[in-house]
Chains A and B, each alone.
Chain A
């Protein structure tokens, strides 16, 4: 074959870019029908053409609507609350609520349009889990929630001026926070312990933000009565990196390295969640081979996430050996990731439409070697701790949370499954072909630190089961990224040697991916629970809004309640078992 024919310019024949046409979700008819049903039951307006049943609610009616949805339609779990700013509209903010029904496995989205300065009644009487979410919307958008008991800034500091996610906020501004700006954080004493008269003096103790046992920049202020915690409050935001604001000023492709830093313990899963959301918006799907690799690496990352969680949790309880045993296989997992994409912790391996490069030729052998090796390490740790009385004394019954509370707080992931609720996004809304694998969702009873340990241990074994099946099936042949020059860069050999491809390459770098106008939500099962991305596109190269639903955020807000009545060492053990990753918590 001559060079000319090999590299001849073959014009792209696929669909043309559709960035100026509205986005139409694939299952919009079904969702609209269901939305109409819900709207008629609740008596609310419906917005059609969305990827979820969507209701538009006036702000005065939001609490009663939420209550009706919770009590009559079993939407018991508050998943997410966020806002989008449209400065040209009179009611410039859309405050969005997303709820989930465990019984019917369905989601519903509520939109509450409000003008600048108009307050919304707080939804805390209905869902406890919207506590921090409302604070976040107040902090970043300046939408007030009437009746919220503690409407303070949450992600930014006290000296911060303005509301950072408003479109008219200039991101180049800097605000200096000095010591005198910071008000002393004094937690409220829990009513259960208010009247208890003991011989001890009450002591306020500050834990963190730089404390070896917090594994990240988390700050907890506790009031102690003797050794017992009688009031606790968490403060977050020390690792806030303006993820959502940065996404708005970068292209869709450029946001992938930012997603790495969300839950940096399982970065590939974040990549998968983000890329699949954009792919959903674009109406494209990654090739089979890419999807298979995504699944394998996601499961390895999930195992690495749990290894770190259990390892560090045991270190906090004084069992250092387990830490070494669990970090060794994690190193090997990172070696596998590094062989694929050249970075260990922050891989940025995925691209919208597939993968950056194909996996190395010995990928499956190495994966198999890891799958053979991992059970040994998990078993070692189990042998060390599962019959150990000290471990049992430290974890059984420590920081429990009831299933109702966990749902009400919006728990997802291993922490919810430890309460006996078998909710896993991989089962309820399968993606990447999880439904074709034979595996089980592990649950445990009790919702305490021990149950969370049990669930994580079993989940690693279930992930190994998925991995073994995935390896046995082998990698499908074919490309690893879609052949659509409006989404993915053309191969380098074409870029160097063909005018057509070079132009596509330039266009894509300079003008970016331009998805159709619309909004979409997509969720994956992260290491800590449901990791969702909500993206609004206005047809330009930059996302209009990227919202990340961080699973840690919902979990960590319950921490104060969980440790009240416990002791400080128990609080440390509980904190480790929740696996709070500050990168995801603070974004």
Chain B
């Protein structure tokens, strides 16, 4: 496209006048066909570099910062790191985290009796991870969260808590990326905590906040 400088910092794009050859249409079409043909041949002889991902057989490689489904990490003794401080649910802009705190009989430590994330409300912004002072919530690279009922979208401790030696390396959004060694925090052990599944059984009425007529 011809460019004309009008004044400093401003250029004018001149519309292209079609020549007679272009106006009879076929040469331009053939020129366009050449571009398409070039792409076709280049792709045909270079099938491996096709910009196509045959999902689900092949999956895109995401970075280690990917903000996917959450997990709750555990200490070495198997208890959840979460101390039910409500920071994540306070920071959550979508208000999708519901926590109920309990107290461990033996250690007098707080721990979550219920920790539900409504994945249909969640916007995957990562604010819960940023807000956590206990290194307890991470996001994973898992982005396949298809469900068939609304109730299944609410994941509880049963789904979120991972075993202590869960590999963190291919993980998603987390406070730091392998550079820092976590020093001890004032956390209890929380041994013997009861784990509760997601709040709703699958056939229970879904989120009561949703208006569905009178």
Query: A residues bordering B, Cβ < 8 Å?
Result: 3, 7, 174, 176, 250, 253-258, 321, 325, 328, 331, 338-343, 346, 348, 356-357, 360, 380, 382-390, 392, 396, 420, 422, 427, 439-446, 450-451, 454-455, 457-458, 489, 492-493, 495-497, 502, 505-506, 509-510
Shortest Cβ distance from residue B15 to the other chain A in the assembled complex, whole angstroms: 6
A493 and B176 in contact (CB under 8 A), knowing A257-B93, A389-B28? yes
A422 and B62 in contact (CB under 8 A), knowing A386-B16, A445-B15, A454-B1? no
B10 touches which of A257, A339, A340, A422 (Cβ 8 Å): A422
A442 and B133 in contact (CB under 8 A), knowing A388-B28, A457-B1, A506-B87? no
User: Residue of B at shortest CB range from A456?
Assistant: B13
User: Residue of A at shortest CB range from B91?
Assistant: A509
Q: Does B146 make an interface contact (CB < 8 A)?
A: no
Contact B10 A440 (CB under 8 A): yes
Residues of A contacting B5 in the complex (Cβ-Cβ under 8 angstroms): 440
Residues of B contacting A343 in the complex (Cβ-Cβ under 8 angstroms): 66-67, 124
Q: Does B120 make an interface contact (CB < 8 A)?
A: no
Residues of A contacting B23 in the complex (Cβ-Cβ under 8 angstroms): 389
Contacting chain A: which of B29-37, B98-106, B150-158, B191-199? B29-37
Distance between Cα atoms of A77 and B197 in the complex (Å): 58
Distance between Cα atoms of A176 and B31 in the complex (Å): 55
Contact B18 A392 (CB under 8 A): yes
Beyond A380-B35, A441-B10, list 12 extra A-B contacts (CB 8 Å). A176-B211, A250-B93, A253-B91, A257-B125, A338-B62, A338-B66, A341-B65, A342-B66, A384-B35, A422-B10, A496-B133, A496-B185
A389 and B25 in contact (CB under 8 A), knowing A383-B35, A493-B180? yes
User: Residue of A at shortest CB range from B130?
Assistant: A489
Query: B residues bordering A, Cβ < 8 Å?
Result: 1, 3, 5-6, 9-16, 18, 22-23, 25, 28-29, 31-32, 35-36, 39, 51, 62-63, 65-67, 87, 90-94, 123-127, 130-131, 133, 135, 139, 172-173, 175-176, 180, 182-183, 185, 211, 213-214
Distance between Cα atoms of A439 and B133 in the complex (Å): 45
User: Residue of B at shortest CB range from A421?
Assistant: B10
Contact A442 B66 (CB under 8 A): no
Contact B87 A360 (CB under 8 A): no
Distance between Cα atoms of A325 and B43 in the complex (Å): 13
User: Residue of A at shortest CB range from B53?
Assistant: A331
Contact B176 A509 (CB under 8 A): no
Contact B91 A342 (CB under 8 A): no
Distance between Cα atoms of A257 and B9 in the complex (Å): 34
Contact A389 B18 (CB under 8 A): yes
A387 touches which of B12, B13, B31, B51 (Cβ 8 Å): B31
Residues of A contacting B25 in the complex (Cβ-Cβ under 8 angstroms): 389-390
Residues of B contacting A390 in the complex (Cβ-Cβ under 8 angstroms): 25
User: Residue of B at shortest CB range from A328?
Assistant: B51
Contact B51 A254 (CB under 8 A): no
Shortest Cβ distance from residue A284 to the other chain B in the assembled complex, whole angstroms: 19
B127 touches which of A254, A396, A510 (Cβ 8 Å): A254
Residues of A contacting B14 in the complex (Cβ-Cβ under 8 angstroms): 444
Residues of A contacting B63 in the complex (Cβ-Cβ under 8 angstroms): 338-339, 342, 360
Indicate the member of B13, B63, B67 with the most A CB atoms within 10 Å: B13
Distance between Cα atoms of A143 and B52 in the complex (Å): 53
Residues of A contacting B91 in the complex (Cβ-Cβ under 8 angstroms): 253-254, 509
Distance between Cα atoms of A386 and B28 in the complex (Å): 9
Residues of A contacting B13 in the complex (Cβ-Cβ under 8 angstroms): 442-444, 451, 454-455, 457-458
Contact A331 B133 (CB under 8 A): no
Residues of B contacting A392 in the complex (Cβ-Cβ under 8 angstroms): 18
Distance between Cα atoms of A209 and B66 in the complex (Å): 33
Identify whether the interface residues of A are mostly helix, strand, loop, or mixed: helix
A396 and B35 in contact (CB under 8 A), knowing A348-B125, A509-B131? no
Indicate the member of A325, A385, A386, A496 with the most B CB atoms within 10 Å: A496
Give me 5 A-to-B residue pairs in the complex whose CB atoms sit less than 8 angstroms apart, sorted by A's number: A254-B91, A256-B125, A343-B66, A386-B1, A422-B10
Contact A445 B66 (CB under 8 A): no
Distance between Cα atoms of A443 and B39 in the complex (Å): 31
Residues of B contacting A7 in the complex (Cβ-Cβ under 8 angstroms): 183
Contact A458 B9 (CB under 8 A): no
Residues of B contacting A321 in the complex (Cβ-Cβ under 8 angstroms): 36
Residues of B contacting A457 in the complex (Cβ-Cβ under 8 angstroms): 1, 13
Distance between Cα atoms of A498 and B54 in the complex (Å): 48
Residues of A contacting B172 in the complex (Cβ-Cβ under 8 angstroms): 342
B183 touches which of A3, A250, A331, A385 (Cβ 8 Å): A3
Contact B28 A492 (CB under 8 A): no
Contact B3 A356 (CB under 8 A): no
Contact B32 A443 (CB under 8 A): no
Distance between Cα atoms of A382 and B22 in the complex (Å): 14
Residues of A contacting B127 in the complex (Cβ-Cβ under 8 angstroms): 253-254, 257
Residues of B contacting A325 in the complex (Cβ-Cβ under 8 angstroms): 39
Contact B133 A443 (CB under 8 A): no
Leading 7 A-B pairs by shortest Cβ distance: A342-B65, A254-B93, A174-B211, A342-B67, A492-B175, A422-B10, A454-B13
Contact B180 A492 (CB under 8 A): yes
Shortest Cβ distance from residue B133 to the other chain A in the assembled complex, whole angstroms: 5
User: Residue of A at shortest CB range from B24?
Assistant: A389
B9 touches which of A328, A356, A440, A506 (Cβ 8 Å): A440
Distance between Cα atoms of A174 and B176 in the complex (Å): 42
Residues of B contacting A254 in the complex (Cβ-Cβ under 8 angstroms): 91-93, 127
Distance between Cα atoms of A505 and B31 in the complex (Å): 61
Distance between Cα atoms of A392 and B24 in the complex (Å): 12
Shortest Cβ distance from residue B193 to the other chain A in the assembled complex, whole angstroms: 22
User: Residue of B at shortest CB range from A510?
Assistant: B90
Contact A441 B9 (CB under 8 A): yes
Contact A427 B1 (CB under 8 A): no
User: Residue of A at shortest CB range from B61?
Assistant: A335
Contact A496 B29 (CB under 8 A): no
Contact B183 A497 (CB under 8 A): yes
User: Residue of A at shortest CB range from B60?
Assistant: A335
Contact A176 B213 (CB under 8 A): yes
User: Residue of A at shortest CB range from B10?
Assistant: A422
Distance between Cα atoms of A40 and B87 in the complex (Å): 53
A443 and B11 in contact (CB under 8 A), knowing A342-B63, A388-B28, A492-B175? yes
User: Residue of B at shortest CB range from A178?
Assistant: B213
A384 and B15 in contact (CB under 8 A), knowing A422-B10, A496-B182? no
Contact A443 B35 (CB under 8 A): no
Residues of A contacting B36 in the complex (Cβ-Cβ under 8 angstroms): 321, 384
Contact B126 A342 (CB under 8 A): yes
Residues of B contacting A383 in the complex (Cβ-Cβ under 8 angstroms): 31-32, 35
Residues of B contacting A496 in the complex (Cβ-Cβ under 8 angstroms): 133, 135, 182-183, 185
Contact A387 B18 (CB under 8 A): yes
Contact A451 B87 (CB under 8 A): no
Residues of A contacting B31 in the complex (Cβ-Cβ under 8 angstroms): 383, 387
Residues of A contacting B123 in the complex (Cβ-Cβ under 8 angstroms): 257, 346, 348
B15 touches which of A380, A396, A493 (Cβ 8 Å): A396
Shortest Cβ distance from residue B107 to the other chain A in the assembled complex, whole angstroms: 20
Contact A388 B32 (CB under 8 A): yes
Shortest Cβ distance from residue A402 to the other chain B in the assembled complex, whole angstroms: 17
Residues of A contacting B32 in the complex (Cβ-Cβ under 8 angstroms): 383-385, 388
